[in-house]
Structure 1
């Protein structure tokens, strides 16, 4: 993997980390995980397996550092790894299509669903949940699917345009 690709991944995740930090917790201390949007963008821009693993580990560590959820550190690592690996397979499966806003929003919404479900199920098995799983799925995961789907599509266009204007060529850039 090239250094410039690693640096871009780190920068994207840093932006997501900052947004994650300023996002207030809601029901049961859960947060809308805006870091996911930048994880997804990193995977769209550089869809190599090594970047997928790097993104999953860095994203999981950053989320674990900021979680308000009791015992959520391990669950964050698990959910980011599972989500990134599944999205890697999906992105590779559609790589012959041009990524447009609809496809980016759809994949990001699916990724958010996978992430939220994996997080909550792993948290349930590891430490338990402060409220029933169904309540958390309806009040946290479903709204986050919409926000992350639309937000990621919007941010992806900005990042893509910025890379084009700056003349930065990224390997495996899926425009």
Structure 2
């Protein structure tokens, strides 16, 4: 993997960390995970499997360190690693629609639903949930998935423009 791509992924994770700090904990300490939008953009920009692993691991560690959910550290790492692998393959399958904002929004929504489901399932098995699964899913995961549609589109558009304006050359083309 090129150093530039790794640096871009690290910068995106830092932005995700900052965005994550702005979101307050909701029911049972669970917060909407805006970091997922940044993770999806990283996977859209750098479509290598190694990057999906790196992004999943970094995203999982950052969200584990910043979670307000009691016992949410391990579920965060599990959910980010699995979500990154699923979205990596989803992006591969949908690569012929590259640059389509509808597909980018779908990736943001579906990825957030997958991540939230895995997180809640893992937390249920490991530590238990402070509220019923369906309540947490409908009050936290679904609204976050809707917000992440727009966050993913905005962040992706901003990153693509920044790459184009700065003249950074990446191996994989980023359509503007």
Which TM-score bucket, shorter chain as reference?
Answer: over 0.9
Question: How far apart in 1 are the matches of 2:88 and 2:60?
Answer: 16
- TM-score relative to the length of structure 1: 0.97
Compute the displacement of 1:174 (Å): 4.3
Question: How far apart in 2 are the matches of 1:45 and 1:4?
Answer: 12
Aligned-CA RMSD value: 0.9
Q: Is the 8 A contact 1:83 1:114 kept in 2?
A: yes
Give 5+ residue unaligned stretches, structure 1.
none
Instruction: Decide which moves more: 18-27 or 42-51.
Output: 18-27
Compute the displacement of 1:170 (Å): 1.8
Give 5+ residue unaligned stretches, structure 2.
none
Compute the displacement of 1:21 (Å): 1.1
Compute the displacement of 1:96 (Å): 2.1
Q: Aligned residue for 1:84?
A: 84
Q: Aligned residue for 1:134?
A: 134
Question: What is the count of residue pairs matched by the alignment?
Answer: 175
- TM-score relative to the length of structure 2: 0.97
Compute the displacement of 1:27 (Å): 1.1
Compute the displacement of 1:149 (Å): 1.0
Provide Cα deviations, 1:59-117, integer angstroms capped at 9, x if missing partner.
Answer: 00000000011110000000001100000111111112222221101111000000000
Q: Is the 8 A contact 1:43 1:51 kept in 2?
A: yes
Q: Is the 8 A contact 1:47 1:173 kept in 2?
A: no
Query: 4+ residue stretches of structure 1 with deviation over 6 A?
Result: none
Q: Aligned residue for 1:168?
A: 168
